[in-house]
Structure 1
């Protein structure tokens, strides 16, 4: 109990004092004390001592391994050391809890096979129906852009929550069925949130689904009363810009005064303007960006190219002079 209090207070100094008392009392081999020591050192960020205590334990049970693994995952992700503890844990027949399993799946390298190995282990031990584990699998396959496996996990889930739907919608970011999946979510009675709309609007941007994207953007504000964030608006500006609807993209930013000072949105607007040779809006976006990011040479270069392409050589020289004056 004293060690847990030290862990909660993040006091390694007090924890070491309690550790000394435990050793003096002859409790260095007591499983519950060792578990508490590992947890305390991990919570305090002293993973070296946590590992020393763990390695010195005469017997390790599932609790010990879960505590050690959780600490390693929290300080460095799926490091070689965490991977070794994971493999040793399975080799000794100890079962990881759902939190540890979910964390491993969230940390696994996208280009490796470890996520698939963990998934196979989950299936063998009948844990694929646990919501937190299934959600972690969905998020893993979504990151890997593996829609097939993501759908397989999703369709086999006996229960789904908002995180499940957000993960499967994100997994559809390069698939034209993304809007259908969104409607399926709404029809199931789950209310979308900011994350849902960020995922589906980003997909609409990537896939060029302008009509569907604008309809969802309107629903987000008017039906679900969710205030659009910079991320939402950037996706919509990109989407409109790619479709050549630069005036509409500018109108969107003009209606929201806060977006007029957001570099991410303005960069999207400037890029769309340059691609579709809309010099009027390009100048507006560039002027604001030059005030916000005066040392970003890319904005100057974009504007110079547009002036050169439209024969406005006097304005071109002015921008060149501005760059020289700034030492760019």
Structure 2
């Protein structure tokens, strides 16, 4: 019979293989009656708990626990590692009731003050959104480490309690790069970009070196603020630290950030710097999207074709970017061809955004009949009032009153409370000399309490 040490060596060798671990599991069950209750045996079961709880089937960790409890010849006690992995499995499974049961079992087993078990509980309750319970476990812990603090901070951020997260972060005795990254990401995700960027600068000023995760977290704040200087600083730091060469995500984000900060020249330089073998679909989509937002339709089309030559299959975001580029660049025929390619070759099922780009493109070019026909072909399950508003705007620009009336009827079938629709149609009537109709539209807008949304300027 194979002994515990041999099985343990097999577990360590094949820990990432589900099939191998299941075979070892079966051997261990057969051998368990003859294996003495030793540290090696406990480590074996813990290795299985770890593999199952952190893998694709965490429910198997719970099933294993229940099976072991039914084996009378095995001891029914489990150590801190077992409980930590089982609690993690509950968090992944999002089974609050089961997690509470393991919490109770861990207390009965004497782990109410154990650092790792209690940290796992804080993380589990935070994942569930049971923040009161997470805080309660945290407060009752005699000792905490940085992982404990970060687990609760991350939980508050995840559930939108940014104020609580910041208070906890400020209390944290030894703030590390993980905690700084978490709070920066929290502010960025909650659209408080100035605070996120300020925190990032404070972190760097304290001598804490950002990781690639920190860099990726701060990029949304940079491009939302249009802060080209910060983008350049991150670029320089990435070159000096080696992050630019080690993580393609950083370079892809740089391409995207430079484009959104208005410096397409730098975006292209970064893209060209990426080794051709490392460029992935995100790299190409980022540069195509950049060309699109800068009205550089031809360059976007050329890049799309180069991407295809690299045998990369475009996804829905890539197609959305190239359709947007064709729309803003006036490349109608090219845009129609890309749409046909997307549909006819079955590469991507078009959604409302793809149709929106296409209708916007046709509307800009004055091809209103084609745009209306396309709008009428949109499947009902994805039809959106924004599509018809886009067409109404095109009718207004090209002064097509008859089509505007038809489009307005479609809009009113979906929504009647948006004042901008009435204003556009009213102005169109007035521009064509139909003042009585213009006045009727304005009156109807007032009767339906559909005020126009006030304008907003960042200048």
Residue equivalent to 1:262: 384
Corresponding position: 1:271 with 2:393: yes
Instruction: Provide, for residues 228-285 of structure 1, a one-character-per-residue CA deviation record: whole Å limited to 9, x for no partner.
Output: 3221121122222222222332233244464995311110111111111111211110
Match of 1:150 among 267, 273, 281: 267
**Structure 2 segments unaligned to the other structure (5+ residues):** 1-84, 170-176, 182-199, 451-459
C-alpha distance after superposition, 1:22-76 (max 9, x if no partner): 9856533xxx557645643542343757987999546x5xx88987886676455
Structure 1 match to 2:197: none
> Is the contact between residue 42 and residue 71 of structure 1 (CA under 8 Å) also seen in structure 2?
yes
Q: Over aligned residue pairs, what C-alpha RMSD do you find?
A: 4.2
Match of 1:4 among 88, 106, 119: 88
Counterpart position of 2:172: none
Asked if residue 203 in structure 1 is aligned to residue 322 in structure 2, the reply is no
CA offsets 1:97-121 (integer angstroms, 9 cap, x no match): x6x3475245544325666655555
* Contact residue 320 and residue 354 of structure 2 kept, 8 A: yes
CA drift at 1:179 = 1.2
1:87-102 to structure 2, matched below 5 A, reads 96=211, 100-101=213-214
Distance 1:255 1:85, change over 3 A: closer
Q: C-alpha separation between the residues in 1 aligned to 2:376 and 2:322?
A: 23
How far, CA to CA, are the matches of 2:203 and 2:105 in structure 1? 28
The residue correspondences of 1:7-18 to structure 2 (distance < 5 A) are: 7-10=91-94, 11=96, 13=100, 17=104
One of 393, 407, 420 as aligned partner of 1:285: 407
Instruction: Pick one of 363, 369, 372 that aligns with 1:247.
Output: 369
Task: Mark the CA change 1:55 to 1:253 in structure 2 (over 3 Å): closer, same or farther.
Answer: farther
Other structure's SS at 1:172 match? helix
- Alignment partners' CA distance in 2, 1:260 and 1:18: 49
Measure the CA separation in 1 of the matches of 2:305 and 2:269: 19
Q: Is the CA contact (8 Å cut-off) linking 1:105 and 1:137 kept in structure 2?
A: no
Change beyond 3 A, Cα 1:131–1:271: same
Residue 310 (structure 1) shift: 2.0
1:160 is aligned to 2:279 = yes
Distance 1:320 1:8, change over 3 A: closer
Secondary structure in structure 1 of the residue aligned to 2:243: coil
Q: Is the 8 A contact 1:38 1:68 kept in 2?
A: yes
Q: TM-score, normalised by structure 2?
A: 0.56
Of 65, 85, 92, 2:180 maps to 85
Determine the C-alpha separation between the residues in 1 that align with 2:157 and 2:352: 32
Instruction: Tell me, yes or no, if the aligned pair for 2:323 and 2:358 is still in contact at 8 Å.
Output: yes
CA separation of 1:138/1:324 partners in 2, compared to 1, >3 Å: closer, same or farther? closer
Q: How does 1:213-224 map to 2 (within 5 A)?
A: 213-224=335-346
Note closer, same or farther for the CA distance 1:147–1:24 as it changes in structure 2 (3 Å cut): same
Relative distance call for 1:104 and 1:22 in structure 2 (3 A) is farther
Relative to structure 2, which stretch is displaced further, 121-130 or 273-282? 121-130
Q: 1:109 to 1:40 in 2, by over 3 A?
A: farther
Superposed CA deviations along residues 174-211 of structure 1, whole A, max 9, x for unmatched, are 15211111111111111112111111111222233333
In the alignment, the residues of structure 2 paired with residue 144 and residue 51 of structure 1 have an alpha-carbon distance, to the nearest angstrom, of 42
Q: Does residue 1:226 correspond to 2:348, yes or no?
A: yes
Please tell me whether the aligned partners of residues 38 and 54 of structure 1 are also in contact (alpha carbons under 8 angstroms): no
> Equivalent residue of 1:315, what SS?
helix
Partner of 1:126: 242
- The unaligned stretches of length 5 or more in structure 1 are none
C-alpha contact (below 8 Å) 1:201/1:236 kept by paired residues = yes
Q: Is the 8 A contact 2:135 2:152 kept in 1?
A: no
> Using the alignment, how far apart are the partners of 1:160 and 1:226 within structure 2?
21
Where do residues 46-195 of structure 1 align in structure 2 (5 Å cutoff)?
Answer: 46=131, 57=144, 74=158, 81=169, 85-86=180-181, 96=211, 100-101=213-214, 103-105=216-218, 107-110=220-223, 111=225, 119-128=235-244, 129-155=246-272, 156-157=274-275, 158-173=277-292, 174-176=294-296, 177-195=299-317
Contact in 1 for aligned 2:285/2:317 (Cα 8 Å): yes
Distance, in Å, in 1 between the alignment partners of 2:380 and 2:398 is 25
Answer yes or no: is the 8 Å Cα contact 2:429–2:435 preserved in 1.
yes
Could you say which structure has the larger radius of gyration? 2
